[in-house]
Structure formats: C-alpha cells, structure tokens
Structure 1
Amino acid sequence: MRINLTPEQEHFIQTKLQAGKYRSAEEILEIALRLLDEYDRSEAEWVEEVRVKIDAAVEASTHQPPIDGEMFVNKILERFQ
C-alpha cells in the first residue's frame, strides 16, 4: 500500500522523529492506527449506551402520564436559575 501525506502531515511526523520519542514513521503510523481503532470502538460503545438509555426512557414514558411540554421546559429552566 502506498500512502500520500500532506506536507503538514509529513512535517508532523518529522517533528516527532526529531524529538527522538519514536524510532520510525512506521511506528508513528502504527500508534495512530491503534488509537483510531480505540476511538472507533469507544464511539461504538457510546452509541450503544445512548441507545440503551433512550430505549429505557421510551419504555418508562409508556408507564407515565403525558406532561405538558411548556411546563417541562419551565421546570428545567427553574433548575438552572
């Protein structure tokens, strides 16, 4: 696989290499890809957690009488004053 980098990306990698923390551009890319994978997994977990909370809220709402939207918003605003 061949990867083309922007001048800014090349400069970033060269700066990291010159600082001496990393041995090669490959090592930097390996770390970046690992972090991207962690980010993707974390995002997927967050989406699932939100989906579960929304489902729970929808289920709970079926057991509660409806409330007036304006009254609800006013109560929220009161809590922040």
Structure 2
Amino acid sequence: MNVSLTPELENIVQLKVKGGLYNSASEVVREGIRLLHQRDEMREKKLESLRIEIQKGIDDLEGGRIRDGNEVMSEFKDRLLRMKRQNG
C-alpha cells in the first residue's frame, strides 16, 4: 500500500518521529488509523444508545406515558426555587 500525505500532514508525522514518541512514520500512521477506528466505534455506540433512547420515547408516547411540557417546566421551576430557599 502506498499512501500520499499533504505537506502539512507529512510535517506532523516527521515532528512526531523527531519527538521520539514514535520510531517511524509507519508507527505514526498506524496509531492514527487505530485512533480513527476507536473514534468510529465510539460514535457508533453513541448512535446506538441514542436510537434506544428515541425508541423508548416513541414507546412511551404510544403507550400514553407522556406529560405536558408546561407542567414539567413549572415543576422544575418550583423545585429550583425550593432548592434556592434551602441553600440560602
């Protein structure tokens, strides 16, 4: 496999090797690919978690388990006021 880098990226790779953290440009590139793969996996896990939460919301809506938004906000404000009074 042959990889072409922009001059800016090539400079970054060279700086990493010169800094002593990596022994070669290949090590820098491999580490970058590993990190990219980890980021992609984390993103997919977050998306799956979000899909699950969305489905829970849909299920609640379809099951009639909903609350009026104004009522919730009013309760939230009341709770904040009580907390402020308790804390002085």
Under a length normalisation based on structure 1, what TM-score does the superposition of the two structures give?
0.78
* Percent of paired sites with the same residue: 29
Match of 1:36 in 2: 36
Gaps of 5+ in 1: none
Match of 1:25 in 2: 25
Q: Return closer, same or farther for 1:11/1:27 CA change in 2, 3 Å cut-off.
A: same
Gaps of 5+ in 2: 78-88
RMSD: 2.3
Q: How many corresponding residue pairs?
A: 80
Under a length normalisation based on structure 2, what TM-score does the superposition of the two structures give?
0.72
> How does 1:35-74 map onto structure 2 within 5 Å?
35-64=35-64
Q: Deviations over 1:4-41 (max 9, x none)?
A: 10000000011111111110001111111111111111
Shift >3 Å, 4+ stretches: 65-76
